[in-house]
A = this chain, B = another copy of it.
């Protein structure tokens, strides 16, 4: 097995991860749209895609293991493979969040809509943008771009806190719409987790490209 074959394998691994990223992005976008527009057919489509995302996760892990078994990789290649393994797991869990949101979409579709004083649309846009930018940073092998992803997480967390307050107020005002309010809270928490996973991927890119472990130092790093 030549060094070149090994590097072709690394390229293939990266492409597979990005393909999976695209599937997850698409699921998240559709799940949020299904929830906001009460589109049952679209929600169903998200649920059906879940199996393919799970399969893709398995294939990527297997590719990574095959590469590790192929030869004794250099440090930077090892860090890359580790970043793929971890990002792969984050993407799959984002797929789970999309699935959860799609399930809520099915549930609320029969209920009257409820106006809530927090910006779910912005939260969704931000968390999906974080995913997109984390994947772009992966492609570009750009730790600075990855670093910028970490900044957006604070705003998502803030909207999530606002959601908690907004849901409380909405319930006091309309106790008969408690169900929709709780559903909205759960969707907000799903999106907050999407942003967390995007943060993890960005940190993996930084770890891989810089060799430094930024996890658990994100706050310090972004306060520079």
In the bound complex, how far is the Cα of B182 from the Cα of A182, in angstroms? 8
Our pick among B55, B85, B168, B185 for the contact of A82 (Cβ within 8 Å) is B85
- Which residues of the other chain, B, contact A25 by a CB distance below 8 angstroms? none
Does chain B have a CB within 8 A of A72? yes
Residue of B nearest to A53 (CB): B216
Does chain B have a CB within 8 A of A3? no
Number of copies: 2
- Which residues of the other chain, B, contact A216 by a CB distance below 8 angstroms? 51, 54-55, 57-58
Beyond A58-B216, A216-B54, is A73–B82 a contact (Cβ under 8 Å)?
no
- If over half of A's interface residues share one DSSP class (helix, strand or loop), that class is named, otherwise mixed; here it is helix
Give residues 152-171 of A contacting B (CB, 8 Å).
164, 167-168, 171
A72 and B75 contacting across the interface, CB-CB below 8 Å: no
- Which residues of the other chain, B, contact A172 by a CB distance below 8 angstroms? 175-176, 178
Q: Report A's interface with B, CB cutoff 8 A.
A: 51, 54-55, 57-58, 61-62, 64-65, 68-69, 71-73, 75, 78-79, 82, 85-86, 89, 164, 167-168, 171-172, 175-176, 178-179, 182, 185-186, 189, 213, 215-216
Q: List 13 A-B contacts (CB under 8 A).
A: A54-B215, A57-B216, A58-B216, A61-B82, A65-B75, A65-B78, A71-B72, A85-B85, A86-B89, A171-B178, A172-B175, A172-B176, A185-B185
